[in-house]
Structure 1
């Protein structure tokens, strides 16, 4: 019995220790204390792109005749062969603006050229192109997830009315460095969405007066937060200084909640490393809006010395921004979660080693929040252009805010529990374990009491 009791105690102690350490690390993250980034625990780094859990598999077709139907209530997973031109189908209401972001994911180790990538267009039943956009790997020559957005906007001259529309996804392949390796199929993630029209007509004049000056970079002690490996798993960030570690070839996703009237500034700094040489586009920082449309990006050349890359200043989030001419302004058109995506070039490993390399993100959010426009219906997915209290709380915890642990962390963050309290909670947990009836310390105390009674 005693052997089984000790075995049970040992197992319970290990589980309790793990939970206690997990809680302590979470508390440290909530109050800004340094902690080991989850990505580094155990020496294992997160894998390549993580597709949306539960994404439906769909096969693109070479013609519109048998194109598979996409439903904005779901996210889809597909693939694209070399030189591929694949069609998918949508049913749209006349009053809805449609967005179809397509993320292409080349296999790990794929050789690519600067002009390789994808092009996405949305077309009506007559074959008229409503829009097209492309995304390429660029000068970094590093394979990574790239996203292009097709869209159908109401109020424009082309592609009006309800009915059947087609999404065309084309793979852009150049010769040279990617000629052999790019023969493999690329993974695709497709996340269609619709935005309803307004209940009342508003201004069609984009805001003209906004401060376009670059603010002073944020200072302060960085807090550790590793990023997600896909849009669906993006880690929440709020204003502040954040730190992570990346190995060459890795891409990490974060999301920042922005209300109507708020605006975002962001920069990323690649830390120093031993070595000599130069790597162009060593670090890439990209910003995407809630429908995964590209907003802005920045990259930096690297010589081993710490260097930042900053996104250009952006206007506050306003509905009327969609009527502007500049692409970076038109894309900041609705409230929701904006995605910051970091990519570290594979080329770094040739000159500066395998890393990991420290990357510091500086995020500033300002502007006066206000109510958004009154929509005549609901967006699909429903919460796409909405910021909730759960979203705001998640920036403190780094989680989605849905689990029990996230609820505890939210209480810590919102309640302002300090590092001293966190330590007391941790030690208090160990006090409880030491008083557990089956613990060795309690067993030893009982043995001493029994021996003393016999001696008397």
Structure 2
């Protein structure tokens, strides 16, 4: 019984600690500048190698942290079988206070040990020249269009290259690396090996809904979940907000961003003041768009994209081929630090509009689809707005609370059993019962004087 009591106290203490929150008053969140990128706390540190023979091996399903200097070409390694499609992504995170030039960015490729390239993708910061987290991925796929030299089982090199102009900040960029494998297909499907040519390409009508408050995250790891709707947030100069939207097979995603006006008298024009970007569930970059700002309300929207389909991968356009699987699609919004020079450092109101159209189709995979699916839990998170870590914390709190409640019930039942037993003993002895006795310490004898 003593062990049960100690366990109950420990669980209640853990619950109290997890329930503790830090209250941030308006304006305090940006006192020290925009929050830093939130790396996955489970990410393992790994060192990129300049020689492929010294490359560290990445494990499927794992997340890694690394870094890359200007002009560096770093090797990592994966071990692949002859049946599975594989994806390796790199998120480059420059310092928010630094500078980048047009054309700066990262390139990720997967190569054989003979240096034959299986695939390669590059993502740059664009003409806005704003330092922000950017993602690129490479894949080794077995299907149509894949070189025969990339279909064999064995080790493959992952090469991450950084392009930086001499005028850019020389500091190292942090890297977040992910290696995921795509599930096997069901027997007999899908069999089409050409990308769809006809799909709804018109911009949908604006939503007729009331906008709701929802605060974006600071990385892919803690991105805030969204569903179809209008979402009000705020963004500070130099800050990047992250959101994620569940998009199932056959569904189309549309997104736009509106930057509010300010109350200042300044009307200075800032080109590419805000960038809206979209990435797929494997952190493969799909597309981005930007808006200019002069102190008045301004908007930008992603161009219409095709419905999510397995056969999209056979298209030569990356804006189509990256929409190849269901799951969480990531939206990120970055406000240029140049905005602070004319309009101050305070955050500006931001409205995100998201639409996910069409009924969900059937998964083509055999067995567990992993991250390439939209589950009922995902839909619940999109409804509530929880991020992945917030949802995990909530689930842990429920387990702890249930455990503490269960332990408390055991303690009450134990005390009730002791009282009943004491009364029976007193009745058998002809005594007055335990009303003048104090409940014992657990495991100890009754005490007088209660």
Normalising by the smaller structure, the TM-score range is 0.7 to 0.9
- Alpha-carbon deviations, 1:218-241, whole Å to 9, x = none? 243321111111111111000100
Work out which of the residue numbers 234, 253, 262 in structure 1 matches 2:251: 262
TM-superposed CA distance for 1:407, in Å, is: 9.6
- Alpha-carbon deviations, 1:234-269, whole Å to 9, x = none? 110001000111111101111101111111111001
TM-superposed CA distance for 1:112, in Å, is: 1.4
- Alpha-carbon deviations, 1:63-103, whole Å to 9, x = none? 11110000112100001012211100000111111111101
Q: Does 1:388 align with 2:375?
A: yes
Retained in 1: the 8 A contact 2:224–2:242? yes
Q: Distance in 2 between matches of 1:265 and 1:39?
A: 33
Q: Distance in 1 between matches of 2:64 and 2:318?
A: 26
- Alpha-carbon deviations, 1:377-417, whole Å to 9, x = none? 655xxx21121111111112221333448999xxxxxxxxx
Residues 378 and 396 of structure 1: is their aligned pair in 2 closer, same or farther, counting only changes over 3 Å? closer
Q: Report the aligned-residue RMSD.
A: 2.3
1:5 alignment partner in structure 2? none
Q: Distance in 1 between matches of 2:323 and 2:300?
A: 20
Q: Does 1:230 align with 2:215?
A: no
Q: Does 1:355 align with 2:355?
A: no
2:229 alignment partner in structure 1? 240
1:43-82 → structure 2 map (5 Å cutoff): 43-45=28-30, 47-82=35-70
Residues 109 and 389 of structure 1: is their aligned pair in 2 closer, same or farther, counting only changes over 3 Å? same
Q: Does 1:217 align with 2:206?
A: yes
Retained in 2: the 8 A contact 1:290–1:385? yes
Work out which of the residue numbers 315, 319, 325 in structure 2 matches 1:324: 315
1:173 alignment partner in structure 2? 164
Q: Distance in 2 between matches of 1:248 and 1:97?
A: 39
TM-score, normalised by the number of residues in structure 1: 0.77
Q: Distance in 1 between matches of 2:331 and 2:54?
A: 36
1:36-115 → structure 2 map (5 Å cutoff): 41=26, 43-45=28-30, 47-115=35-103
Retained in 2: the 8 A contact 1:95–1:196? no
Retained in 1: the 8 A contact 2:61–2:181? no
2:392 alignment partner in structure 1? 402
Q: Does 1:290 align with 2:281?
A: yes
Retained in 1: the 8 A contact 2:113–2:156? yes
TM-score, normalised by the number of residues in structure 2: 0.78
- Alpha-carbon deviations, 1:201-221, whole Å to 9, x = none? 421132233211011222433
Q: Distance in 2 between matches of 1:286 and 1:83?
A: 25
* Number of residues of Structure 1 aligned to a counterpart in Structure 2: 369
